A = this chain, B = another copy of it.
């Protein structure tokens, strides 16, 4: 009995090595995408990774060129009813709105008059620069940390840092394990992006340089304890959405992604950037919010042509072979189990 048992272990180990030998680190043990349903999207992702890491295959990509760009709001975490960056910006605007020197100026007047919602639809990116005017960057980081840990989502009643989609974090870990270089590209204020993502241990292997967002103009002074950065009341070009994402891929990364993952029209240029890599196999993914029960069903609340319409959403810029991830059908689980 013991002999048979050991032989089985040995055989199982041998088979495990055999299976893994051709695919490098494709899966260290168990199912690396265990939170994904056994459906075509998961198979396509695993097949793609196997192909590009197989040095003998025609689709091989050397590790240094395995660039991944992932959107944040609505792709890595819940963005409804409002993205964390916008929740943060509006909380700062409301703090500042009563200051006498800001009377008569937007967006502070809107904040005082409860009209931010209207203004944000037109000029959301304007909020980032204006909202923190004069604040030191260290103070901004501290305020974002407090928000992520303490402020609770109006519907799910849990802190914002618990609103990351676990299957997406697992996908990033799987790609990192296979020597992909992952960048998070978000339209939100870059300091919010870095600070919020730093709350997740699953993203701890990504240094701050891998988080690219919209930049707020800063100035710097030199004190006794090193440089002190403080915010000016405007953003820098380019705002990191749509064309801005393609531009920042060139400016900040300098290599085209072979995998791009988004969820909105703001991500289409990033998906199109994969065609610049020159590699035969590249992957474009759009997350579809179609789960009104566990998260949101965008199609039910929006006019045709907006978020709900994916995967057709990006076909103009990024072609037709975009894979659509259904939150309803592809995610076994979305958020971590509630502690209460």
Contact = CB atoms under 8 A, between A and B. Distances in A.
A92 B139 CA distance: 45
Given A194-B254, A254-B194, A247 B272 contact: no
A254 to B, nearest CB: 3
A272 to B, nearest CB: 5
Interface string A241-282: 001001100111111100000000000010011111110000
A57 interface: no
6 contacts: A181-B207, A208-B254, A218-B250, A229-B247, A236-B236, A237-B237
A226 interface: yes
Contacts of A331: none
B218 A247 contact: yes
B272 A243 contact: no
B222 A272 contact: yes
A219 interface: yes
A272 B227 contact: yes
A108 interface: no
Nearest to A65: B207
Interface in A199-236: 207-209, 211, 215, 217-220, 222, 225-227, 229, 236
Nearest to A319: B222
Contacts of A225: 275-276
A75 interface: no
Interface string A50-86: 0000000000000010000000000000000000000
A317 interface: yes
Contacts of A227: 246, 256, 269, 272-273, 275-276
A186 interface: no
A137 interface: yes
Contacts of A255: 207-209
A252 B254 CA distance: 13
Interface of A: 64, 137, 181, 190, 194, 207-209, 211, 215, 217-220, 222, 225-227, 229, 236-238, 243, 246-247, 250-256, 269, 272-278, 317
Contacts of A278: 226
Given A217-B237, A226-B256, A252-B252, 6 more contacts: A209-B253, A222-B317, A225-B275, A226-B278, A227-B246, A227-B256
A217 B237 CA distance: 9
A254 B317 contact: no
A276 B246 contact: no
Contact of A237 (B209, B226, B236, B275): B236
Residue among A194, A220, A253 facing the most chain B CB atoms (10 A cut-off): A220
A65 to B, nearest CB: 9
A237 B236 CA distance: 7
